């Protein structure tokens, strides 16, 4: 019996104790899952950030439980989102990397996509995919997704409305999300055209202009700022859910580059940070130029923080805050592109954030993400958990809360006992990653040990790395030669957990050939 579906009420009457089971189906909690995009482990105040201000997120986190050892399922966008929705780790997942479905044509041409919607979106999930959204719908939830999809394409079977969401508003295509001033967004399956001009993502600075003059960057700010429009839809969706429980998946694109933020927040950080060199987007890291890139990046995060504060206040005004579980996390670690300066912000906190250690890589800076759970009526405020856990645990966790059974083939576990302060928490024997991009990478965490292998697909010699995360959280001291027994165990897990992807682009030949048992 789901412990949250029924209340056991005991009372004493005339000296007799009587127990009654009362059906409280109507008080199933609302669930809001906020997935930031490229937000580093150390980019919130509650996780140690000192330069970017996030007072509303910090206050919300302090009302719940911080998860200090929570991981994304993959170090980039699309696979992380797929594994969250399906409860699979990357050894069993259908989507294991970004797949832009290039065989359709010139999918990276922004103007061509504007003319031809069949060029938008990413490779679809299989039609028979059952997502977390489907399961919550069947459990009586109204489901909404606002933000970035990235797991299908318009005119295919793999759009939010056919993959478990009653309502969708935002970017269908993650390439379109490379600008916060797009020509259109989607409301359910239909384009909503915006009042923005065609400024294609990855347009660099015009060198005949003065790079120190703010007016030279004017065209990169357009009338309709997508996050403003998306938050209005969030507010409207939540306001309509007074009678039935709801699930809101807020897949905000913030703070993924391009650096584009409301000027009032940029001005705030210009005053705080002082003068800085402009970012011109012409040195190979792309996206859009910005006169004050540090101020602009911080502004994006504080803008998100501001909107989260507004959402919390709306929940309180509607009288549903206490019965709402809010989960905040990120899809992967901080980026290195688009003018972002992760080392200046200490974006990964105690981990490394530079290229090769942050986004796109299976080191801690790329996969450990800032995460907390707040549920005022159930979770004790001001608490922390060091339970190793991952996005693919959400399918089982939400099932235990909402009253659906998690499938037997899920790779996740329910975190509900930890959230409720109980002692019967099941633990992972290991956490598993394989990532076919950036040279081909795999990793396993077993207790305090982390096995990493890089360069499994490129021309470099594959690495053999072992770190003790307690003694060496920055993964700087490779002790592989000292513990061959750990590699033997890891090789067995890789062999057991890996299934061959049907996409050649996601295959890692050394895994397919069973060569990972080699320790030299």
3-state SS class at 126: coil
Residue 286 above 60 pLDDT? Answer: yes
Tokens of 79: 């696979």
The span from the CA of 210 to the CA of 213, in Å, is: 5
Residue 23 above 70 pLDDT? Answer: no
Band of pLDDT at residue 517, cut at 50, 70 and 90: low
Residue 178 above 80 pLDDT? Answer: yes
Mean pLDDT of 441-459: 96
Residue 99, Cα to own-chain centre: how many angstroms?
Answer: 17
pLDDT of residue 263: 97
pLDDT of residue 243: 84
Beta-bridged to residue 185, according to DSSP, are 192
Mean pLDDT of 437-453: 97
Pairing of strands 246-251, 324-330: unpaired
Beta-bridged to residue 290, according to DSSP, are 279
pLDDT of residue 515: 65
pLDDT of residue 513: 79
Mean model confidence pLDDT for the chain:
93
pTM exceeds 0.75: yes
The span from the CA of 494 to the CA of 440, in Å, is: 14
DSSP annotation of 23:
E
Residue 185 above 70 pLDDT? Answer: yes
């Amino acid at each position: 019996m789901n412990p949250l579906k029924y209340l056991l009420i005991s009372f004493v009457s005339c000296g007799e104790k009587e127990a009654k089971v009362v059906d409280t189906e109507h008080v199933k909690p609302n669930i809001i899952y906020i997935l930031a995009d490229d937000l580093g482990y150390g980019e919130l105040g509650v996780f140690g950030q000192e330069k970017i201000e996030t007072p509303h997120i910090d206050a919300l986190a302090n009302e719940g439980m911080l998860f200090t050892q929570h991981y994304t399922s993959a170090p980039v966008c699309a696979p992380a989102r797929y594994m969250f929705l399906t409860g699979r780790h990357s050894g069993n997942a259908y989507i294991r990397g970004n797949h832009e479905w290039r065989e359709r044509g010139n999918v990276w041409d922004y103007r061509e996509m504007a003319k031809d919607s069949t060029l938008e979106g990413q490779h679809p999930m299989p039609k028979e995919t059952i997502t977390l959204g489907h399961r919550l719908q069947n459990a009586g939830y109204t489901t909404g997704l606002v933000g970035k999809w990235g797991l299908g394409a318009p005119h295919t079977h793999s759009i939010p409305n056919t993959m478990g969401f009653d309502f969708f508003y935002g970017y269908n295509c993650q390439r379109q999300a490379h600008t916060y001033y797009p020509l259109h967004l989607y409301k359910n399956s239909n384009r909503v055209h915006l009042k923005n001009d065609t400024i294609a993502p990855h347009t660099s600075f015009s060198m005949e202009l003065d790079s120190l003059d703010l007016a030279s960057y004017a065209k990169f700010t357009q009338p309709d700022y997508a996050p403003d429009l998306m938050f209005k839809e969030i507010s409207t969706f939540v306001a309509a859910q007074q009678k039935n429980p709801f699930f809101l998946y807020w897949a905000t694109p913030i703070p993924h580059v391009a650096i584009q933020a409301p000027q009032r927040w940029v001005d705030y950080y210009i005053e705080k940070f002082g003068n800085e060199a402009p970012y011109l987007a012409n040195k190979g890291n792309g996206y859009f130029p910005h006169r004050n890139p540090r101020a602009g990046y911080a502004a994006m995060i504080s803008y998100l923080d501001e909107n989260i504060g507004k959402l919390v206040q709306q929940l309180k005004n509607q009288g549903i805050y206490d019965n709402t579980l809010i989960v905040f996390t990120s899809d992967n670690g901080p980026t290195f592109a688009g003018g972002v300066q992760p080392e200046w912000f200490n974006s990964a906190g105690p981990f490394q954030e530079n290229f090769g250690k942050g986004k796109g890589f299976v080191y801690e800076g790329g996969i450990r993400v800032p995460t907390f759970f707040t549920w005022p009526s159930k979770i004790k405020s001001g608490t922390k958990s060091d339970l190793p856990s991952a996005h693919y645990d959400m399918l089982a966790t939400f099932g235990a809360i909402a009253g659906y059974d998690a499938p037997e083939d899920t790779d996740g576990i329910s975190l509900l006992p930890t959230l409720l302060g109980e002692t019967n928490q099941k633990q992972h024997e290991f956490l598993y990653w394989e990532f076919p991009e950036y040279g081909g990478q795999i990793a396993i965490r077993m207790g305090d040990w982390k096995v990493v292998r890089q360069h499994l697909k490129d021309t470099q010699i594959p690495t053999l790395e072992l770190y003790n995360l307690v003694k060496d959280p920055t993964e700087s001291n490779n002790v592989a030669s000292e513990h061959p027994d750990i590699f033997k165990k890891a090789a067995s897990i890789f062999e057991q957990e890996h299934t061959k992807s049907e996409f050649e682009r996601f295959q890692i030949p050394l895994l397919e050939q069973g060569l990972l048992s080699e320790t030299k």
